[in-house]
Amino acid sequence: MIKYDRLRIYRDDLNRAIFEIDGSKTYYMSSSYNKFIIINADYFDKQWKKSEFDIQKVLANIEDKHNDIKYKRAEIGFQSGRDNPVPIVNVQIMMEDEINIIPTLENGLTRTNYLLANNVKYLVFGIDSNEFLNDTEFYFLIKNSDIK
């Protein structure tokens, strides 16, 4: 098991990577992606608002994330907890400068807003490429093969 402040990562009986993310309660997500980026939630929220895509800008800039139109659907999705973890969201990363990123979500915009509304410290995303990223104080990378 890998442990960070308010985040635990391990494998379940089906050999899936499981992410336990503490916020208002514990939220469970799973994935079979090969690489993951873990981003500080406050940093992500600030940087996501810089997205160049209209729908992303609209959802990223909802002041009260509880007002996301599909918030209740996300809430229902997370209710199964450990028994049926919610799929990890996939993200594309653009570099703003040498350190700062601008994330663009490929899916899961409302799942992300739901977690932001519920006070998580970290957000976990599947990522296809990381050759230009180095760990920083705002985010870090892990490989699926590193999860025990």
pLDDT at 143: 87
Measured CA to CA, the distance from residue 28 to residue 59 in angstroms comes to: 22
pLDDT at 24: 97
pLDDT at 132: 63
pLDDT at 130: 62
pLDDT at 93: 87
Please list the pLDDT of the chain residue by residue as tens digits (148 residues): 899 889 999 999 988 999 999 999 999 999 988 889 999 999 999 999 998 888 888 999 999 999 999 999 999 999 999 999 999 999 988 888 888 889 999 899 999 999 999 999 999 999 887 656 777 888 888 888 889 8
pLDDT at 32: 80
Parse the chain into domains and list their residue ranges.
Answer: 2-146
pLDDT at 141: 87
Plot region of 103 (φ>0 → left; ψ -120 to 50 → alpha; else → beta): beta
